[in-house]
Structure 1
Amino acid sequence: MSRRKPPVIADSLLDQLLDGADAKSAFDADGLLDQLKKALAERALNAEMDHHLVNGEPGNSRNGYGRKTVTTGTGKIELEIPRDLAGSFDPALIAKYQRRFPGFDDKIISMYARGMSVREIAGHVRELYGVDVSPDLISTVTDAVLEELAAWQARPLEAVYPLIFFDALRVKIRDEGTVRNKAVHIALGVRADGTKEVLGLWLEQNEGAKFWLRVMNELRNRGVEDVLLAVVDGLKGFPEAIVAVFPDALVQTCIVHLLRHSLDFVSYKDRKPVAAALKEIYKALDADAGAAALAAFEAGDWGRKYPAIVQSWRRAWPEVIPFYGFADDVRRIVYTTNSIEALNAKLRRAVRARGHFPNDDAATKLLFLVLNRAEKEWTMPPREWSMAKAKFAGERFTRAMA
């Protein structure tokens, strides 16, 4: 039987605070909790002032108090802010021009990261805390994320990534009065120890060789020296751009995306049997057996009914072949992973909740926040990766992943 942990605040002090008070009202606006926040904040501000005067310029002294109303997680409180004669005191707890208590901005950013719109956040804050916040304020708070995004996008990366998945999703963004579809591309790298990190995100309306080359050069300039295997979504010109910057990289088309693209040609009632027939291709023992399975599919009923499927596989075949060079444990990781599918699902859910974005920045800051939250939640299962790591083909893979 576990013993009760000693309280952080002594029971005798809590009894003294609650003496004669209604416990329920303690949580109301201007109740005991708000009074404690006010008292603790003012005590901390005065302690900061004492430290400032002791360590600051000679001759400086206190000069009364000013009043400031700040927004907290439960409402608004009025604080008495100490002043000094020199006017040089800028408290860390509540800076000179700050009107929101520490933690309030985090609540707004958390709601934004969950896909809530600016107006939804304003309504939610009003309902929960009885505080009116303007859409402009919410935009200002969330725009602060853009600086963090810029630093994250430029951070140094690992020298070698055994595996990088490149994926994309479509978002609707208002551009010069018209809502347009734009692609956001995401690179998910797997380090030698199996841990994953999102390397960056890039938003582009017109995809092409120049854009892909710019992305690859950006990764190289941030410290990436070698990519062993790149898994891509059959984007035209992408494999060539990868090899141009990382000439030793193997480029593998994403089998899941190839299957989904194939089923786009298929009527709903035929999808299940067609998917089962295509399984014979990517489950083949080697590239020759895979090519034979593709030819058999082409000659069969489904191939004759849906010839566009065979054409799409043949176009992608040079990037399908590397898949057959790996053991089953590696194929399972290259084929797809639950964590990547979960990441994509979170991003698409946030995008769907928005409908469309007013500008590029609004889209990228939301996606960055979703990625940031997701990245803290998952890692590739160590056992799954260690088994695959031992079976990666070739001396170069073994040496880089040692």
Structure 2
Amino acid sequence: MTTPTFDINAAIQALREGKDLTGKDGILTPLIKQLTEAALAAELDGHLASTEGANRKNGKTTKTVKSPLGNFELNTPRDRAGTFEPQLVKKHQTQLTDEMERKIIGLFSLGSSYQDIRAHIEDMYGMSVSNGTVNAITDKLLPELQAWRERELEPLYPVIWLDAIHYKIKENGRFISKAVYTILALNVDGKKELLGLYLSDNEGAHHWLSVLTDLYNRGVKDILIACVDGLKGFPEAIATIYPQTEVQLCVIHQIRNSMKYVASKHQKAFMADLKCVYKAATLNAAEMALDELETKWGDKYPVVIKSWRNKWALLSVYFKYPDYVRTAIYTTNAVEAVHRQFRKLTKTKGGFANENSLLKLLYAGILKASERWTHPIQNWNLTLSQLSIHFEGRLENHIDL
């Protein structure tokens, strides 16, 4: 086997002169080349020793190989019989490791543009990559995304949050707005889990029904509490698939919608009175505060009061629980936090060329965000105990008691 002839003294001198260790013309690149060629020569020697009949070395072939330390010309040995198949760097392999691919996908998952990714790769590895190459590498997420979207889910989730976010996607030569449906859940261990992403032309109860049907078909047979915004027909859609599920309308959505109809000069005072409703200690206290709100503001803002009255049965569900349970369920803040992460990824992009270009970016963001979802939410054991009481008989087969 040929011994590498890396000149350590020349490398030290180059380092003193301020040359880079890695990248184009990097100090260590010749060492990687020599070590790789030595390993391939050893592979061929082993192959020849184990092969019966006449066979011998037959020169070398040359190809350019990309490595994390820079590009180099690799001389791969051949045998006369043509039976040698190198394993370290296979015949059509042009990258020494997949580190660069991992780096590109890592930058992509942070929302970096293709231009920024290309500049970063050029700076790190001294190699130029095209937008097409970056796109081809990030497209490798698509089969993984599809498997994730079709994976089997747990039979029961104590809490889920459902919401939608909208993006511009090019279709038939023009950009149209489409809704991405996001389903975030708490599993029986109290850990967050994104159950799926679904794309539709617009947000509506009919489309949510198809989303819930897909969850059911993927194994979700029971949901204790579903937290949703005020979309008309949403609770009915949930009841169609999960008739036993308790629906909690997002109080924050209701407040935002209410304030659209309150004059700016009254908003501060109205909010102070409204806070007495949704922050009340008990359901009875909340209903008394709502009566007082109507007495004071009903003549000026009858539409707002009527909305609270009509939706009160679904807005007030959380009052039956202690504070530590209420905090988790009375708003859709948990799933909106996921959407904030999505917006960070997509803020520099006015629109997307196709659905896949959007979904693979959001999926990369999910992988990044879920790295932090390793612990149960605060007070989960107490919350689980409360849910076991309120939903008697539905949790026992899914948790260790």
TM-score, length of structure 2 as denominator length: 0.83
Q: 1:64 to 1:333 in 2, by over 3 A?
A: farther
Structure 1 counterpart of 2:323, from 318, 322, 328: 328
Identity of aligned residues (%): 37
**Residue 126 (structure 1) aligns with:** 122
For 1:160 and 1:48, locate their aligned partners in 2 and report how far apart those are by CA, in whole Å. 53
Q: 1:255 to 1:20 in 2, by over 3 A?
A: same
For 2:305 and 2:47, locate their aligned partners in 1 and report how far apart those are by CA, in whole Å. 74
Letter in 2 for 1:146: L
Return 359-368 or 58-67, whichever deviates more: 58-67
For 1:384 and 1:266, locate their aligned partners in 2 and report how far apart those are by CA, in whole Å. 37
Residues 161 and 183, structure 2, Cα contact 8 Å, conserved in 1? yes
For 2:264 and 2:13, locate their aligned partners in 1 and report how far apart those are by CA, in whole Å. 69
How is 1:357-376 mapped onto 2 (pairs within 5 angstroms)? Answer: 357-376=352-371
Structure 2 counterpart of 1:159, from 132, 155, 159: 155
**Residue 389 (structure 1) aligns with:** 384
Q: Which runs of 5+ in 1 are unaligned?
A: 1-12
Count how many residue pairs are aligned between Structure 1 and Structure 2: 389
Give the SS at the match of 1:390: helix
Q: Deviations over 1:340-397 (max 9, x none)?
A: 5543321122122222111111111111100110001134545421222222234246
Return 291-300 or 87-96, whichever deviates more: 87-96
For 2:337 and 2:229, locate their aligned partners in 1 and report how far apart those are by CA, in whole Å. 17
Residues 167 and 185, structure 1, Cα contact 8 Å, conserved in 2? yes
Is 1:114 the counterpart of 2:107? The answer is: no
Residues 228 and 332, structure 2, Cα contact 8 Å, conserved in 1? no
For 2:335 and 2:231, locate their aligned partners in 1 and report how far apart those are by CA, in whole Å. 18
Q: 1:361 to 1:91 in 2, by over 3 A?
A: same
Is 1:25 the counterpart of 2:22? The answer is: no
**Residue 261 (structure 1) aligns with:** 257
**Residue 147 (structure 1) aligns with:** 143
For 1:395 and 1:32, locate their aligned partners in 2 and report how far apart those are by CA, in whole Å. 68
Q: Which runs of 5+ in 2 are unaligned?
A: 1-5
Residues 70 and 101, structure 1, Cα contact 8 Å, conserved in 2? no
For 1:297 and 1:329, locate their aligned partners in 2 and report how far apart those are by CA, in whole Å. 26
Structure 2 counterpart of 1:241, from 237, 240, 243: 237
Residues 70 and 125, structure 2, Cα contact 8 Å, conserved in 1? yes
For 2:215 and 2:333, locate their aligned partners in 1 and report how far apart those are by CA, in whole Å. 25
Return 140-149 or 249-258, whichever deviates more: 249-258
Letter in 2 for 1:332: T
Structure 2 counterpart of 1:65, from 41, 53, 60: 60
Give the SS at the match of 1:217: helix
Q: Deviations over 1:87-141 (max 9, x none)?
A: 6736465562545741111111122211122233223433554432211111111
For 1:214 and 1:396, locate their aligned partners in 2 and report how far apart those are by CA, in whole Å. 28
For 1:376 and 1:80, locate their aligned partners in 2 and report how far apart those are by CA, in whole Å. 41
For 1:118 and 1:187, locate their aligned partners in 2 and report how far apart those are by CA, in whole Å. 29
Cα RMSD of the aligned pairs, angstroms, is: 3.4
Q: Which has the larger radius of gyration?
A: 2
Structure 2 counterpart of 1:137, from 118, 133, 137: 133
Return 356-365 or 126-135, whichever deviates more: 126-135
Return 362-371 or 328-337, whichever deviates more: 328-337
Residues 161 and 226, structure 2, Cα contact 8 Å, conserved in 1? yes
Q: Deviations over 1:220-241 (max 9, x none)?
A: 2222121111111222333222
**Residue 36 (structure 1) aligns with:** 31
Structure 2 counterpart of 1:216, from 212, 218, 222: 212
Letter in 2 for 1:37: I
Q: Offset at 1:209?
A: 4.0
For 2:189 and 2:26, locate their aligned partners in 1 and report how far apart those are by CA, in whole Å. 51
Letter in 2 for 1:228: L
